[in-house]
A and B are shown apart, each in its own frame.
Chain A
């Protein structure tokens, strides 16, 4: 059985998943995660990279407390507030953007905080529209605002910039960094995109194919806002040499 043990205010996240299996359509159990051990540094950006279908989303769901059906344990601070940015924005289409954010926001989150956040993400003029009127890029920003409005101590991002054109994705990555640096939060981001991983990560966690486990943890020591495109390319080509399977685009 699994144990989710609160460990007080240390802010430490220790994950030890012995096994997580799914029952396939033919009734045969398929192992998705096996011997997955990971310690997440508080107030840092941990980026998980792995081949597609390796169980990254399953891992995030377990971490978010949405799936308790696994063997192992997860230690996390008591009363962990979670901000989750899914692959799709998952905004409530029948509530205006403002309501979508307010509904999950932290109690101490004021109207002023909302305006500052919306301003930082360039959606101040979209607060009073319904999500159906937003482009995917704008809806993602609204979802990001919602995730930050909870004042999370664990921010989970599941391929948050997938299926956007590159300039839009790049702008959003910078916005994410900006908002994240304003209030450092323990964050776990899952991505396929190696350059995105190198641009955002404090720690790069490389995952094996299914049943997935941690192959290697690679720290990236330069602060995110000092990473130039040239530097990102350099780190990327270095990683490509060392871990060709994980970094072949």
Chain B
């Protein structure tokens, strides 16, 4: 009886809520609006989608797009790994220890509210226009966010499971792997999600201010030339890569780590 009921409900589900169809129509709508706006504006400052995609392909085949993209991605990856590693360790420690939290909390609030631009400028001024200063500045912008998220995660750890692990004398590494990290998974996922988007935005600023390559540098160059087609072209290429990372790396990983739930993500 219940089986038939749920079957009916699934069949009756309106097309407006079924996944891929909605995504496709919504995307097509966006392109249409863009196309129309470009057609009405009829200006060099708002090129249409066809023109931009043509530029992107041409720049990828004949221009530096791929290598610039690669350099920027490397910076994103490096800053991401550093921020996640340092932020997770400090965040978990602050969540577990009330004393440590009291000591570091005000530092954290300062760092959270320090504008990204200030950190970038100071890093360049103090450490020179180097790769390390660039990546370090980006990581430092992201670290407080990771700390706040993971601290919340550490505070919500189940004391019952912790007691179980201690009663059974589980070694520290085993406890981390089987008891603590699985509980922190949603928090790590949240920090990674917001982390990737925040980091790639800041990486472009860092490149714009003090690097001679990367997507940010190209945007800077084309801004001076008022070449909006190139700016949009680079943006599209980068967004495409980030979407690919989301769909082919982040989401499958999340499905894998939540497979034990009745309704995996």
Q: Please list the residues of chain A having a beta carbon within 8 angstroms of any beta carbon in chain B.
A: 61, 64-66, 81-84, 86, 88, 90, 92-95, 99, 103-104, 130, 132-133, 150, 156
Contacts and interface: CB of A to CB of B under 8 A. Distances in A.
13 contacts: A66-B166, A82-B167, A84-B167, A90-B161, A92-B161, A92-B182, A94-B185, A94-B260, A95-B260, A103-B170, A132-B260, A132-B262, A150-B168
Contacts, number: 48
Contacts of A92: 161, 178-179, 182
A83 B185 CA distance: 28
B261 interface: yes
A156 B170 CA distance: 17
Interface in B132-190: 160-161, 163-164, 166-170, 174, 178-179, 182, 185
A82 B168 contact: yes
A107 B167 CA distance: 17
Contacts of B161: 90, 92
A210 B219 CA distance: 73
A94 B169 CA distance: 19
Chain B binding surface SS class: helix
A38 to B, nearest CB: 19
Interface centre among B161, B164, B166, B262 (most CB of A within 10 A): B164
Contacts of A82: 167-169
Given A92-B182, A103-B174, A86 B261 contact: no
A103 B262 contact: no
Nearest to B168: A104
A131 to B, nearest CB: 8
B163 A66 contact: yes
Contacts of A66: 163, 166-167
A66 B169 CA distance: 10
Contacts of A65: 166-167
Contacts of B163: 61, 66, 86, 90
B233 to A, nearest CB: 44
Given A88-B160, A92-B182, 12 more contacts: A66-B166, A84-B168, A86-B163, A86-B164, A92-B178, A93-B260, A94-B182, A103-B178, A104-B170, A132-B260, A132-B262, A133-B262
